[in-house]
Structure 1
Amino acid sequence: MRDIQWLLQDFMIFSEGLAALIAVIMTFKKREKSLYSYFSIYLVFIFCCEMFGKFGVKYGPFPINLVFNYFVIPLEFIFFFWLYAYVSLQKKILFWSFTAVFLLAYIPNELYFLKNKYIFSFNYTFGSVLLMFLVVMEYYKQINSDRILEFAKNPMFYTNLGVTLFYIGTLPYWAFYLQIFEHKQVWNIYTLYFQISAIIMYLMFASSFIWGKQNYS
């Protein structure tokens, strides 16, 4: 099981790099441009962070867990709040509200949840809950769209599917990580799901640039 997990871990990073490469190529190749194009920059950023976490951690001035908890993860969620609420749903107030609430959630995280691990990663869990609301709203928008039969041209169709499988599907994994870890077999299975869903998510992100039209909406 460990060998498979290590293999999938490496393939996760490979899928991130592949998605970033395809996104950059397709962004420059396609003539139509939109705010969705910034997704390619995000993918490059995430890939660089993962590469630093794997190979450059010993050269950093801060522990890698602090870098991810207080820099990378907040930027991940804020970006997706922007992509969903600001770009796709076109609800600017919702974007700023979710961003503010998410950042304020670091206060109870620092005061309580760092010491009390009933919820393993409170800020990640809370961000995933907020993202789940946006995912549902995006599904509702797509289902009620006049262009529902052209869903394959909608880049957010692929993005939403990937986010659903990974961020929403692994929400209990990071919320109750310590409790799940006590049941080793369940933990192993959920860890495999976490890794496989991450790979699928990045492949979906790449697909959104290959088959999706950035000026769809």
Structure 2
Amino acid sequence: MTEFQKLLQDSMIWAEGLAALISVIYYNRSNKEGYWKYFSIYLIIMFLSELMGKWGDLVIDYNKQKFYNFFVIPLEFLFFYWLYAAKSLGKPKLFYAMSLLYLLSFVSSEFFFITKKIILSFNYTVGCLLLMVLVIMEYYKQINSSEILNFSRNKMFYINLGVTLFYIGTLPFWTFFNLIKEYRELHDIYFSYFLMSGIIMYLLFSISFIWGKQSSSSY
């Protein structure tokens, strides 16, 4: 990892912390439905998880690969399935169906794929593809909404944009990681994008609580 990438990695962690802090401050403003507090809790858990991933081995002995593969990453996908499908799109059955498909991917991974990686490529690919479907559905909903001109006050606009840049944008990187890592220059460029898009995503999450607070009652 280059010095620039180390700087980006640390910046991404603190961007998560900033998003978690801002969410605690702003989530209850005009929050008539109340469930945005779960987004705040999610951001706090993600920040603490990244602190654990970065410095946890200095305190306790644990398996970092399993921590990410079986806790952090599944929590990310399952939370966004819930936020998109069950809440924003109002399709709870879609949330259950996608969650089941994603969890079933772990069964296939155990039998057919090598699992000694920091990220299980097959599971991440399945998770991202399912999330991509929800992202497209959310874009379609926003474009066809009567509130399209007030998109700057729409929490999900910022969240959807951040998810697009980070999860969808880095899908090829993790899907073809074993191939990409053989080409050092390409790997470094894409890994840098992964870190930068993560920073931007969490900044967009922060903005969603600040600028999007007025429209939270509509989700």
> TM-score over 0.5 for the alignment?
yes
Residue identity opposite 1:168 in structure 2: I
CA contact (8 A) 1:153 1:216 kept: no
State the Cα deviation string for residues 171-210 of structure 1 (Å, max 9, x = none): 0000111111111111111111101000000000001100
CA contact (8 A) 1:125 1:171 kept: yes
Which stretches in structure 2 are left out of the alignment for 5+ residues? none
State how far apart, in whole Å, the 2-side matches of 1:77 and 1:146 are: 29
Runs (4+) of structure 1 moved beyond 2 Å? 31-34, 57-62
Residue identity opposite 1:114 in structure 2: I
* Alignment of structure 1 residues 114-133 onto 2, 5 Å: 114=114, 121-133=121-133
RMSD (Å), alpha carbons: 1.8
CA contact (8 A) 2:180 2:186 kept: yes
2:37 counterpart of 1:37: yes
Residue identity opposite 2:38 in structure 1: Y
Secondary structure at the aligned position of 1:215 is classed as helix
Identity among equivalent pairs (%): 53
Secondary structure at the aligned position of 1:164 is classed as helix
Which stretches in structure 1 are left out of the alignment for 5+ residues? none
CA contact (8 A) 1:85 1:134 kept: yes
Secondary structure at the aligned position of 2:90 is classed as coil
From 213, 216, 219, the counterpart of 1:214: 216
CA contact (8 A) 1:173 1:180 kept: yes
What residue number does 2:137 align with?
137
Secondary structure at the aligned position of 2:217 is classed as coil
* Alignment of structure 1 residues 1-217 onto 2, 5 Å: 2-28=2-28, 30-34=29-33, 35-60=35-60, 62-114=62-114, 121-212=121-212, 213-217=215-219
State how far apart, in whole Å, the 1-side matches of 2:19 and 2:51 are: 14
TM-score normalized by structure 2?
0.93
TM-score normalized by structure 1?
0.94
Cα deviation for residue 116 of structure 1 reads 10
